[in-house]
Amino acid sequence: MHSAARLLSFAACLLAAQAAPGQGASSSIPDRSYYSAIELIYRGDYRRAQRAFADELRGSVKTVDSRWVDSICYHALQGEALYQQGLYGPALDEMNRACSLLMVYPKWLLSAQFRQQPRPDNNPGRRAAPWGPSQRQPVYASLPDTVLIAQGDLNSAQRAAQQGGVVQSAQFWRVDAVEVLRAAALAIRRRNEMLGPLGPHDRLSKELADVLGRGGLAPPNHWSGAWTELLTGLAQEGVGDAQLALPHLTRATLLDGRYDHRLTGAALLEQGRIAMNSGAGRAAAGLLLEALTAAYAFEDVDVMCEAVSLGRLNHIAMGAEGPYPPLAPVIALAESERLEHLEVVARLALAEDLLAAGAPQRAAPALGRIASSRSDWVQGRLGPRLPAVRSMLELTAGKPREANDSLARAVAGQAAVSLRTFQIGQAVARYRAGEISPRLAADVFADLLRDPTAADWSSDPLDAVALLKSAEADAFDSWFDAALQRDDELLAITVSDLTKRRRFFAAQPYGGRLLALRRLLGPSDRLLTAAQQTQRQALLTKLPELVEMNKNAAAIHRDLRNDPGVFAAGGPTSDADRMLRDFARLADGREAALRRAVLARQATDLAFPPARSANEAQDLLTPGQALMVIHETRTGLFGFLLASEGYHTWRLPPRRDLENRIGAALQAMGNFGASREMKQEEAESSEWRRQCDALAKLLVQDARLDLNKTTELVIVPDGPLWHAPWEALPVGDVGGEQTLIDLTPVRYAPTIGLALGDTTPLRPVRKTAVVLPPDGGARADAEQIARQWDRLGGAVREPVRLSAPAPAPTPLLASLIDQAVIRVPSEIDPSQPYAWPPMAIDRTPAIGRLEAWMALPANGPQRLVISGLHTAAGDGLKSSGSRRGDPPPTGRELFHASCGMLASGARTMLVSRWNTGGPTQLDLEREFLLTLPDSPADQAWRRAVTLARGATLDPYAEPRLKPDAKRLDAPTASHPFFWGGFLLIDTGLDPRPQPEQAPEQDPEAEAAAKP
């Protein structure tokens, strides 16, 4: 009985093997059309290739339950076509399907009939690579293109005879087994790349590593086991076990311990990648060159592309000079064989290497025909590389406007095809779906959202810039949520600050990269860390023209600071004007040079704003100091109170409720517009107190803030709380009469890193600019302006008077002064906060924008009073949005404005949110300035407020207080409309001499003496 069943089964198999073409062994799989579709990828025709592989899939071999192993090829190569288009989501789906099929048939190779042992190729010379011979002295294997493989159940007839049922006969197919394995390896490798740090936590990745790691995928002790070792090694790499992967990859290199084969290049590629990532540059160089050579021998263009790209990156990381040597012969090969994909990879790399080597005249020709290509790669993952190279060529050619446009296109394009951006999106989706636990998510987001490292800048500066240009709000919110879910409140505070830093970077040209480069050229390298000093020297070595320009700029800056003709009443003297023009040219020249370094493989620390963890902040807090951090996420607002002895977290009401309550408080204080006058009875009303009391209950009732023990309150606001009148909040115990500023000094900072830890002494005040509105020609106006000058000029050191039109661009003038009092009216457009002009007296408004203050020469005034600014708070939050499009979140404009001013050199800023413009405000500013040199800024401001609140208002002198002729008495300035409109943004430096503190130094002499 058993013998008959076996005979029946064998007969069925024979019949299957003799089936009609396309149904059995008489045709091979994959068929020729599949290989033609692969050629489309190599020729850069990704979309046609994608459609072709979809057609192949429709004609694939199917079983009762699923597709068969040939579909691994179709899914993997369709995924590759999508991958090259930068469509990573659909590409990952296809790679997942390929790997899932591999898990259905992990041991499919056991069914193969190997009828020939590997033998040496009789004509190895045809495989000689144009870039030179292999150092491994390979022996190339010669094997049949296909093997016969049974698909189905060989024992189906036997079981049907014993148990009944339908006979599901096995079929024999001629299969290109190596191609199936190559496609499976490609699918695993691309999954590893697309998942990145998510791989160790991915279900399918772990299943691949587990199943393939058990072995038994090929016949025992058979030479074909080398092929399956490649899959096992790749799977181990995917879950982060690179060292466990290495033995498998090593065994995958040779068949039967002797022969190179079609997968040798892929095995060497991964060994080279692991060596490169571990810092073994010399070993990586050899392995990657051998991978390129082995891939050429077996016409594996995919591995050739990867090997030449990684080999070049390793070449750069090792500090080798000149272009990567194989690039030129690879280009010649690709051009002759019409392999446009490979040609694009190599030409873009060669052009960039030539630019880095200082040979721009050779870089443009290196682009060759791809410069005008219209192939699919232009819109794919390689596409942004072309405008990036063009931008560098245009900068070298002295075309800054064209270069800026090209670089903007490159950065925007890279943001759309960045693998890291895709991984961040995947992490967010998986965390929200519950696929990643809060414990794991915190580690994953920490990796994905970190600042670019030196290795990141070296390997892909364009991608690093593109990442920094994205605020990644959803990802930071998820990281924040994960920290709270695991009850790690200190981590949540840290994440809140990293979120704000990234928000700032995303609003900067090139993601803060240019700002970081500018800071390396600061006037004093004493302010740089050891790592930053090394970066500065590397920058000056790369751009030697900066050495002379820096020296000349420092000398002119010193002369301008000492020349009274700069601020002469009738305008700058001729000598001063000449120096100002030279100074401006040097600033423009240095800016142009730095733009050439934006995409250079030059490491730069993102030193501003400084990154500071909650643990570090807690260590910096002294007894009595309290740090209140507000953080807004998509799920709401959170509050944190941090002190040296502990911390506390609470949840704030929804944004809309807070905005309404803050708006009500501001309106009760008299804020209905920039010109609205307050009646005298309003100035004596306590309605503001009732509204502020209601607001205080929302904000601090759950904060556990013990003001009896608080000697200083530092607030890091977010969202609408930038406009909250914190100092006016009734928080005392005696009948609600005391406000917050009665009980403790208060200051603000946009980030934790800018709130604490500032120990660098201020430079001496050698010049203070008092910036006043023009008098308008009327006598009353002239007298008022003269009074302002007398009161303020007498309160500061070395005053100089400025008014419109400025004698030179205000960003240049700002670098010549140490302190500024700016009383010129201005407003911040919430949609363009960096377009705000801090002084607002330039002949052309665009010249004096905040973004220009942040550019070289930078190093502006360290202490400022900006009392002419009007914000949404002055309108009671009634018009807090932009006039263009959807309004940004209320308060963000003050965040960006304060960050921008601090980036330009400020350390203390007293900034108005509304302007009362009368003698009370003038006295507030004067008293603050008088005390500031010898007192912490928040103590100086608290003293000024205390003095002002006790003064009697003059209704006829206060422009925003409506006089009442029927009344003989006048109200006092206790109403917060007259003192509560200011924000004191301050880094916390105490100017009083500290024990063992180095004496203050003027950095100019130091800068002039150094390159």
CB distance 961 to 955 below 8 Å: yes
Same domain, 810 and 927: yes
Indicate the residue among 89, 105, 121 that finishes a domain: 105
pTM of the model as a whole: 0.91
Name the 3-class secondary structure at 719: helix
Beta strands 678-679 and 712-716 are: unpaired
Residue pair 339/375 in contact (Cβ under 8 Å)? The answer is no
Specify whether 333 is located in the same domain as 365: yes
Helix, coil or strand: residue 973: coil
- C-beta separation of 725 from 976 below 8 A: yes
Residue 910 lies in a domain: yes
Yes or no: say if 275 and 284 are a contact pair by the CB < 8 Å rule.
Answer: yes
**Distances 986 to 512, 814, 906, 907, 922 between C-alpha atoms, Å:** 22, 19, 9, 6, 20
In a domain, 994, yes or no: no
Half-sphere exposure of 941 (CA within 13 A, CB side): 27
- Whole-angstrom CA distances from 32 to 27, 38, 176, 358, 497 are 10, 10, 11, 47, 57
Kindly state whether residues 587 and 626 are assigned to the same domain. Answer: no
- Given 755, 778, 809, which residue is the final one in a domain? 755
Q: Is residue 332 packed enough to be buried (19+ CB in 10 Å), middle (13-18) or exposed (0-12)?
A: middle
Chain centre to alpha carbon of residue 284 = 29
Q: Which residue has the tokens 């009634």?
A: 878
Decide if 1 is inside a domain. Answer: no
The neighbour count for residue 105, using CB atoms within 10 Å, is: 18
Residues 598, 469: one domain?
yes
Residue 353: C-alpha distances to residues 349, 363, 389, 414, 892 (Å): 6, 8, 10, 19, 41
- Distance between CA atoms of residues 768 and 865, nearest Å: 11
Supply 448's token pair: 């994905």
In 486-544, alpha helices (H): 489-506, 513-520, 530-542
One domain for residues 585 and 536 = yes
Answer yes or no: are the C-beta atoms of 528 and 520 closer than 8 Å.
yes
> Which is nearest to 914 in space by CA: 859, 849, 979, 967?
979
Q: What span, in angstroms and rounded, lies between the C-alpha atoms of 426 and 438? A: 15
- Supply the pLDDT for residue 160: 52
Sequential DSSP letters for 452-485: P-HHHHHH-HHHHHHHHT---HHHHHHHHHHHHH
Give which of 931, 864, 947, 867 is closest to 900, Cα–Cα.
864
Cβ burial, residue 222 (10 Å; 0-12/13-18/19+): middle
* pLDDT attached to residue 995: 62
* Tokens, residue 871: 């914000």
Residue 518 and residue 581 in one domain: yes
Nearest to 542 by CA among 459, 454, 601, 456: 601
Rounded CA-CA distance 148/13 in Å is 12
CB 916 within 8 A of CB 959: yes
> Scanning the structure block, which residue is given the tokens 């970190």?
450
- Is beta strand 768-771 parallel, antiparallel or unpaired with respect to 799-802? parallel
Q: What is the largest CA-CA distance in the chain?
A: 124
Q: Which two tokens stand for residue 876?
A: 């009671």
pLDDT value for 615: 96
Domain co-membership, 664 together with 712: yes
- What spatial distance separates the first Cα and last Cα of the chain, rounded to whole Å? 96
Q: Tokens 């949840």 appear where?
A: 651
Regions of the chain short of the pLDDT cut 70: 1-26, 152-169, 524, 732-736, 776-780, 879-889, 994-1011
User: According to the model, what pLDDT value does residue 1008 have?
Assistant: 46
Look at the alpha carbons of 986, 992, 995, 999 in this order and tell me if their dihedral is positive or negative.
positive
Residue 804 lies in a domain: yes
C-alpha–C-alpha distance, residues 275 and 287, integer Å = 8
Q: What's 85's domain CATH number?
A: 1.25.40
CA-to-CA distance for 254 and 947, rounded, in angstroms?
86
Residue type, 24: G
- Tokens 């063992």 identify what position? 996
At a CB cut-off of 8 Å and minimum separation 6, what does 646 contact? none
Residues 6+ apart with CB under 8 A from 281: 275, 314, 317, 318
* CA dist., res. 233 & res. 269, Å (int): 12
Show the tokens assigned to 114. 């190997």
Axis crossing angle, helix 419-432 with helix 88-104, rounded to the nearest 10 = 70
Q: Please state, in angstroms and rounded to a whole number, the distance separating the CA atoms of residues 574 and 165.
A: 106
Boundary-marking domain end, from 87, 105, 123: 105
Q: Are 679 and 595 part of one and the same domain?
A: no
Residue among 710, 664, 712, 592 nearest 873 (CA): 664
Q: How far apart are CA 415 and CA 468, in angstroms?
A: 9
For residue 717, is it within any domain? yes
Q: Residue 813 and residue 738: Cα distance in Å, rounded?
A: 42
**Token representation of residue 436:** 């990643």
Domains of the chain: total? 5
Provide the token pair at 278: 């571990």
Identify whether residues 399 and 497 lie together within a single domain.
no
Q: Answer yes or no: do 831 and 900 share one domain.
A: yes
Cβ 186 vs Cβ 76: under 8 Å: yes
What local confidence, expressed as pLDDT, does residue 734 receive?
43
Which amino acid, residue 682? E
Residue 665 lies in a domain: yes
| Enclosing domain of residue 471 | 438-608
Q: Distance (Å, rounded) from C-alpha 578 to C-alpha 141?
A: 76
What angle do the packed helices 70-84 and 32-42 form, to 10 degrees? 20
- Which of 250, 241, 231, 252 lies closest to 188 in space, CA to CA? 231
CB 439 within 8 A of CB 472: no
- CA 403/CA 388 separation, integer angstroms: 9
Q: At 785, which CATH number?
A: 3.40.50
- Burial per residue of 602-626, b for 16 or more beta-carbon CB atoms within 10 angstroms, e otherwise: bbbbbbbbbbbbbeebbebbeeebb
Q: What span, in angstroms and rounded, lies between the C-alpha atoms of 22 and 174?
A: 10
DSSP state of 377: G
- pLDDT tens by residue, 862-916: 999 999 999 999 999 885 444 445 556 689 999 999 999 999 999 999 999 999 9
Pull the structure tokens for residue 490: 């200190």
Are residues 601 and 729 both part of a single domain?
no
Backbone torsions φ then ψ of 551, nearest 5 degrees: -60, -45
What tokens does 992 get?
């009083």
pLDDT, tens digit (0-9, with 9 covering 90-100), for 40-92: 999 999 999 999 999 999 999 888 778 999 999 999 999 999 999 999 999 99
Q: Do 745 and 876 have their domain in common?
A: no
CB 928 within 8 A of CB 983: no
Residue 241 lies in a domain: no
Is residue 969 included in any domain, yes or no? Answer: no
